[in-house]
Amino acid sequence: MIEMPEAYTLARQMNETLSGKVFQSYTQGELRHKFLWLSGPVEESSATLAGKAISGANSYGRSIYLRVGAEHLLWFGDIGGKLLYHPAAGPLPKKYHLRWDFTDGTSLSFTLQMWGFVLLLDKATFSDRPAKEVGIPPLSAEFTFPRFNELLDAYPDKTSKGIKGFLVTSQHMNGIGNSYAQDILFRARLSPRRKIPEITSAEREQLYQAVQETVSQAIQAGGREEECDLFGRPGGYRRLMSSKTAGTSCPACGTTIEKMAYLGGACYYCPQCQR
């Protein structure tokens, strides 16, 4: 599942590679997935896109927006899969869920692995971004420390789901999922189980800095190594706390990194640094 660094990387590459290309067709491959949500029949979307040019691409949190002229937007959200660019006369994947062909012979394919949605919106349903897009992305101008504190205080599950739940809930802070949350909490020296009312002012500032540092490093590296970019290349960010590092020594204190199940997923942490 892509998170903010991967969405940023893919959107930047799509903007550089796809801008100006004209849609020829939009088709659905032989693969089907019950957790792939579309805005309507692919044939109708294909008719809308045909002959229109891509005017750019950008990201917001975990979403990618491919802009079509000034009137339409392809919204890729909660993407658990691969978006790949295919040069003219290059090989296409044998199996895929969705494919967009351009008049210059190049293509874009999407293969779903977990879940996600691809929606074609018209101007009535978006301005700078879709109306349903919520939450504040890290690194944005709005994501200041005072605003971060407000989001923490307003989190409705702060005494039950605690800090891990806050980090991975896009309605508040948009862009972080379970993967980067592990490293953020490690850098902030906080246990995933810590409840927000128990976190001190100094710890909140450490957490804010950890969010910014982790996301910045991952963006510079092109996303994490488990995900690939628009050209099929893996990212360069290696997580500190993951299934690959469980059982190895903590990079800060040498204690063995442990795994625990919490809030419906696995957490990797240092029991010494993150008490």
- CATH code: domain of residue 70: 3.20.190.10
Q: How far is residue 266's CA from residue 233's CA, in Å, rounded to a whole number?
A: 26
In a domain, residue 140? The reply is no
Report the pLDDT value the prediction gives residue 120, as an integer from 0 to 100: 95
pLDDT digits (tens, 9 = 90+) for 178-215: 999 999 999 999 999 999 999 999 999 999 999 999 99
Report the pLDDT value the prediction gives residue 258, as an integer from 0 to 100: 96
Report the pLDDT value the prediction gives residue 123, as an integer from 0 to 100: 85
In a domain, residue 25? The reply is yes
259 and 182 in a single domain? The answer is: yes
* Predicted confidence pLDDT, tens digits, the chain (275 residues): 899 999 999 999 999 999 999 999 999 988 777 788 898 899 999 999 999 999 999 999 999 999 999 899 999 988 888 999 999 988 888 889 999 999 999 999 999 888 889 999 998 888 777 877 889 999 999 999 999 999 999 999 999 988 999 999 888 899 999 999 999 999 999 999 999 999 999 999 999 999 999 999 999 999 999 999 999 999 999 999 999 999 999 999 999 999 999 887 899 999 999 98
Report the pLDDT value the prediction gives residue 33, as an integer from 0 to 100: 79
Q: CB-hemisphere CA count at 13 Å for 158?
A: 13
In a domain, residue 186? The reply is yes
115 and 190 in a single domain? The answer is: no
Report the pLDDT value the prediction gives residue 18, as an integer from 0 to 100: 98
Report the pLDDT value the prediction gives residue 17, as an integer from 0 to 100: 98
151 and 265 in a single domain? The answer is: yes
The parent domain of residue 262 ranges over 145-269
153 and 65 in a single domain? The answer is: no
228 and 153 in a single domain? The answer is: yes
237 and 187 in a single domain? The answer is: yes
Report the pLDDT value the prediction gives residue 119, as an integer from 0 to 100: 93
Query: What does the radius of gyration of the chain's CA atoms come to, in whole angstroms?
Result: 20
- Alpha-carbon distances, residue 172 vs 83, 245, 266 (angstroms): 26, 29, 22
Report the pLDDT value the prediction gives residue 148, as an integer from 0 to 100: 96
